[in-house]
Amino acid sequence: MGHGHGHGHGHGHSADADKRYLVGALALIVGYMAIEVIAGLIANSIALISDAAHMLTDASAIALALVAMRFAARPARGAYTFGWKRAEILSAQLNGLTLLLLVAYFCYESVRRLLEPPEVSGPIVVVTAVAGIVVNALAAWLLSRADRRSLNVEGAFQHVLNDMYAFIATAISGVVVWLTGFRQADAIAALVVAALMLKAGWGLLRDSSRVLLQAAPSDLDPDEIGGVLAGDPDVVEVHDLHVWTVTSGYPTLSAHVIVARGSDCHQVRTRLADLLHDRFEIGHTTLQVDHGLKDRTEHCEDPHGPRHLGRTAPF
């Protein structure tokens, strides 16, 4: 009977480099957020103050990403046999939820402003929003250099990118208010931003929920993998096949493999593990390999999921 086979798990990005990029983006956003609140109060612009509130969620998203990175770096010990790697998935869930709550706020605020448009200083809105576009573009560039395969970093990146779109919409609405006096432009811009935020928030919640529910990664088909494993000439049957993600970029597989009598269990396990690594990029595999018995119930009384039968299967 053979057990685990592992290949090195690593990304092209180092955690330290990621941390530097995130800290740089956080400093930019917090600094500009304070400036924007002051400008919003002077201009009497709810649009700018709303953007500042949006920047606060950017800052909290990046701060959460940094905290989750620290947790994820903790070694596996005691009851936490995978360490704290899934902390980033909880962080991504929180980011997605925050975006959806902001969507509700923006929609409410926009409808209120459409009905009662406030007096706004267009020039201050335009200048502040254009500067905000530059700050967010720079923060987005810093975050894009970190490892965006991490749902956590991707969450922070989506926050900042959406804030940049928010500033573009605010800048356009500021120009319209300034040149035409059409104050409802402010509310229309906020609704556009809300739609962008809805898309990003829903995507984050969907992807992080897949991980928490132990679903197979979206780019891997367990049935296809089972068929490929069962295609090995020595394999009689594959069952109890599980494919899941521990955290971003960490696909994992376990399976019970029955091989023909006379086959070398160790050789088959190594061959299958290499196949999974090379073809499906799954480096973390646990394969229980046993010889076929006349009574298959001696292996598993209740095998989970479908059975994938090999060409030599007698049953």
Say how many C-beta atoms besides its own lie within 10 A of residue 81's C-beta. 7
* Location of structure tokens 């432009």: 185
CA distances from 198 to 43, 85, 266 (A): 28, 27, 50
pLDDT band of 304, cuts 50, 70, 90: low
State the pLDDT at residue 132: 92
Top-confidence residue, 212 or 78: 212
- Tell me the pairing of strands 251-259 and 284-291: parallel
Cβ atoms 307, 239 nearer than 8 A: yes
Tens digits of per-residue pLDDT, 101-127? 988 988 898 888 889 887 777 888 899
Decide if pLDDT at 296 tops 80: no
Reported as a single tens digit per residue, the pLDDT across 229-249 is 988 888 888 988 999 888 777
Average of per-residue pLDDT across 284-304:
69
Does position 32 have pLDDT exceeding 90, yes or no?
A: yes
User: pLDDT category, 26, cuts 50, 70, 90?
Assistant: very high
Q: Which one has a higher pLDDT value, 311 or 130?
A: 130
Averaged pLDDT score across all residues of the chain? 81
pLDDT band, residue 15 (cuts 50/70/90): low
**Residue range 160-194, pLDDT digits in tens:** 888 888 889 889 988 998 899 888 887 887 787 78
Model pLDDT, residue 67: 78
The pLDDT confidence band at residue 4, using thresholds 50, 70 and 90, is: very low
The pLDDT value given to residue 9: 41
Where do the domains of the chain lie, and which CATH numbers do they carry?
8-212 (1.20.1510.10), 222-309 (3.30.70.1350)
Strand partners, 254: 242, 286
- What pLDDT score does 270 carry? 92
Question: Do residues 233 and 312 touch, judged by C-beta distance below 8 A?
Answer: yes
Tell which phi-psi region holds residue 271, choosing left (phi > 0), alpha (psi between -120 and 50) or beta.
alpha
3-state secondary structure the chain: CECCEECCCCCCCCHHHHHHHHHHHHHHHHHHHHHHHHHHHHHCCHHHHHHHHHHHHHHHHHHHHHHHHHHHCCCCECCECCCCCCHHHHHHHHHHHHHHHHHHHHHHHHHHHHHCCCCCCHHHHHHHHHHHHHHHHHHHHHHHHCCCCCHHHHHHHHHHHHHHHHHHHHHHHHHHHHHHCCCCHHHHHHHHHHHHHHHHHHHHHHHHHHHHCCCCCCCCCHHHHHHHHHCCCCEEEEEEEEEEECCCCCEEEEEEEEECCCCCHHHHHHHHHHHHHHHHCCCEEEEEEEECCCCHHHCCCCCCCCCEECCCCCC
Instruction: Give me the pLDDT at residue 156, please.
Output: 82
Distance CA(197)–CA(201), nearest Å, equals 6
Q: What is the mean pLDDT of residues 239-261?
A: 86
98 closest CA partner among 61, 51, 149: 61
Q: What's the pLDDT band for 313 if we cut at 50, 70, 90?
A: low
* pLDDT exceeds 80 at position 88: no
User: Which pTM was predicted?
Assistant: 0.70
Give the pair of three-digit tokens for residue 81. Answer: 């046999």
Q: What is the mean pLDDT of residues 34-50?
A: 82
Judge whether residue 303 has pLDDT over 80: no
